[in-house]
Amino acid sequence: MRDWRRLVHFSALLVPILDEVTSRTVVLALLFAIVVVYTVEEVLRLKGRPLPVLTSFTLRMCRPEETGRFIVRPIYLAIGIITSLVLFPTKIAYASIAVVAVGDPVAAYVGEKWGRIHLRLNKTLEGLIAGLVLSFLAACIFVHPAAALLGAATAMLAELVDILDDNLTMPIAAGAVMLLASR
């Protein structure tokens, strides 16, 4: 299950590539279509009429306690990405997407595998540091290292406190801070 979730996060790295080879309009339309299809799949799943391939994929990604309700986290991720693409200049949008695509799954993996110092629930210092370092490196591909560091640190703080949902707050908070840092 966790590997599938990480794969979905890492797949967000395709968004900047698609944006460059197609257009912002195409990427936004594709993301909106994914949200609509996923929403329909979830409604049908909860009504007992699952869509074979999509529902199977969704159930592989979700936590056991999520199966009885609408699984909203993938929508939060898509909305965080969409919001970043709409609100921020291209390079900052790409950096904010890279931060959530890399930082969140890396922090979870390292925290589960090697985490010893627990900061909050299932969040560890080791995961936080790994997520910070790798999301910083990912953001450096698109923005100045100082902005990347501020964005990565902000995103990992959002991941740690997990207000609303880190899939939504990480890219938006990182993008906002990187935008302010670039002025």
| Tens of pLDDT, residues 1-30 | 567 778 888 999 999 999 999 999 999 999
**How many domains in the chain?**
1
Which residue reads 């990187």 in tokens?
178
Rounded Cα distance between 148 and 143, Å, is: 6
Residues 174 and 139: beta-carbon distance below 8 Å: yes
Residue-wise pLDDT for 75-122, tens only, equals 999 999 999 999 999 999 999 999 999 999 999 999 999 999 999 888
Buried b (16+ CB within 10 A) or exposed e, 161-182: eeeebbbbbbbbbbbbbbbebb
DSSP label of 12: T
Domain with 92, as residue range(s), is: 2-181
Name the pTM for this structure: 0.93
